[in-house]
Amino acid sequence: MEKKSLNIESRLAQIGSVQEPVTGAVTFPIYQATAYRHPKLGQSTGFDYSRTKNPTRSVLEEACAELESGDAGFACSSGMAALQTIFALFGQGDHLIVSLDLYGGTYRLLERIMAKFGVSATYVDTNDLDALEGSRRPNTKAVFIETPTNPLMMITDLEAVCTWARHHQLISIVDNTLLTPYFQRPIELGADIVIHSATKYLGGHNDVLAGIIVTKGKELSEEMAFLHNSIGAVLSPSDSYQLMRGMKTLALRMDAHERNATAVATFLTTHPAIENVYYPALPDHPGHEIQNRQSSGNTGIFSFKVKDARYVEPVLRHVKLIAFAESLGGVESLMTYPAVQTHADIPLEIREAIGVDDRLLRFSVGIEHVDDLIADLDAALGAAIAEVEGSAGE
């Protein structure tokens, strides 16, 4: 397709723009119809029933497939719905190798639901090829990678792991939620499947829940189409529109998120209340070099550890501009306490082994003015220190 020669900013801005043939509408309409009239017996317009295929959803799916350099895209009702659809590739007796530091919902889906269907998982540091090889079994079918991981921002060398996976005929699946195809395209590095919680950066405005799957290869794309239709956790036409609306500004937003996150993370590295900042854009982050090699930019979220767990509660109470809320990737800044929110379903011993403890906070840096964000955070940290020291002195 000629489109691919355009830069990604142009392709994003133009999603659905010249595809409406009847009226010339410059944004693609929302087709609410669930059924489509057949011209005659044995003929179809290409659309039969909206669970299988819907015109509005198709425009979104084709755009996502193209952006991720895949062959087919599938829009789902949430990131979890997308993950469930992907995991339906596996069945009784199958084994998966999965990133150790993992989105809590993915862990819960694997351990509480897929386990009931006989699918088991081993959690390893996917950047350690020896650990990967050590966890591989005769029944291993796939490797599932988050990079950067959420919340600890560990980086996996995608090309190395996908090459290893291909060698052993394992499917490689990458959760690309944190970087989006604007910054990182795992299929170009050898992955077979990319999944997104489009609720996050793709949508970008904390106002649409959606998931995206992109597959590479004819066989896998056909199987995913079958699962997507059979399971039926598809994205509605109006949410498909809403998601495309958000994606048009993805490039602008990601650049702003990265710029702000880098400035705020750098500010925190020297703050007296902070022990550690986990952000791959910082030069001393262990994954910095790999991240720079395989991605063209950095996500807008990072985590940090306060020196004293008693700071957490007052910090969350004192932030004003930054909202204490779950989720990430929207234009508004949100701060989360992973140990009790997003990662509560991960057993304490796993959480503590990887460092998701009661001193860790995760910050999804929005596109507000960076000076306002730093001032808000600085004031909340100062108030927290004052409260804790005040109580210790009593």
Ligand X SMILES: *Cc1c(COP(=O)(O)O)cnc(C)c1O
Please, which residue, 82 or 124, has the CB nearer to ligand X? Answer: 82
105 touches ligand X by CB under 6 A? yes
Mark the segment that binds ligand X (CB under 6 A) among 87-95, 100-108, 161-169, 353-361: 100-108
Instruction: Verify binding: residue 211, ligand X, rule CB under 6 A.
Output: yes
Nearer to ligand X, 174 or 388 (CB): 174
CB of 298 to ligand X, least distance (A): 15
Joined together, the tokens standing for residue 80 give 């979890």
CB atoms within 10 A of CB 340: 10
| Binders in 112-131 for ligand X, by CB under 6 A | none
Integer Cα distance of 86 and 72 in angstroms: 13
Tokens of 52: 């299988």
Alpha-carbon distance of 15 to 30, in angstroms, equals 14
Stretch that binds ligand X, among 56-64, 192-200, 313-321, 358-366 (CB under 6 A): 192-200
Closest distance to ligand X from the beta carbon of 146 (Å):
6
Shortest Å distance, C-beta 385 to ligand X? 30
- Residues with a catalytic annotation lie at 51, 103, 175, 200
> If binding is defined by CB under 6 A, does position 364 make contact with ligand X?
no
CB 99 within 8 A of CB 143: no
Of residues 135, 140, 150, 260, which one binds ligand X by CB under 6 A? 150
Q: Identify any residues that bridge with 141 across adjacent strands, giving them in sequence order.
A: none
Crossing angle between the packed helical segments 370-393 and 250-269, to the nearest 10 degrees: 30
Per CB under 6 A, the list member of 68, 175, 192, 376 interacting with ligand X is: 175
Q: Assign 3-state DSSP to the chain and report helix, strand, coil percentages, each to 5.
A: 40, 15, 45
Q: Which residue's CB is nearer to ligand X, number 297 or number 330?
A: 330
Binds ligand X by CB under 6 A, chosen from 87, 90, 103, 123:
103
Closest distance between ligand X and the C-beta of residue 239, in Å? 11
Determine the interface stretch with ligand X among 53-61, 62-70, 98-106, 131-139 (rule: CB under 6 A): 98-106
CB of 105 vs ligand X, minimal distance in Å: 5
Are the CB atoms for 20 and 28 separated by under 8 Å? yes
Q: Which of 205, 219, 314, 310 is nearest to 249 (CA)?
A: 205
Binding of ligand X at residue 209 (CB under 6 A)? yes
Determine the interface stretch with ligand X among 27-35, 102-110, 126-134, 267-275 (rule: CB under 6 A): 102-110
Q: Which pair of structure tokens corresponds to residue 168?
A: 């052993």
- Specify the residue, 147 or 376, whose C-beta has the smaller distance to ligand X: 147
Interface pick for ligand X out of 54, 84, 197, 262 (rule CB under 6 A): 197
CA distance 366 to 350: 30
Exposure of 159 by Cβ count < 10 A (0-12 exposed, 13-18 middle, 19+ buried)? middle
Which amino acid is present at 343?
H
Site for ligand X in 281-300 (CB under 6 A): none
Distance of CA 386 to the CA centre of its chain: 36
Q: Is 221 in the site for ligand X (CB under 6 A)?
A: no
Binding mask 47-86 for ligand X (x = CB under 6 A): -------------------------------xxx------
Decide whether 66 or 175 has the Cβ nearer to ligand X. 175
Q: CB nearest ligand X: which residue?
A: 79
* Number of residues lying near ligand X (CB under 6 A): 15
Minimum distance, C-beta of residue 193 to ligand X, in the bound complex (Å)? 13
Tokens of 276: 């550690």
Which residue among 54, 199, 291, 298 contacts ligand X (CB under 6 A)? 199
- Residue 49: strand, helix, or coil: strand
CA-CA distance, 10 to 18, in Å (whole number)?
13
Q: Do the beta carbons of residue 71 and residue 221 sit within 8 Å?
A: yes
Q: E strands within the chain?
A: 72-76, 95-99, 120-124, 140-146, 171-175, 193-197, 211-215, 274-278, 301-306, 323-324, 334-336, 360-364
Residue ranges that bind ligand X, judged by CB under 6 A: 78-80, 103, 105-106, 146, 150, 175, 177, 197, 199-200, 209, 211
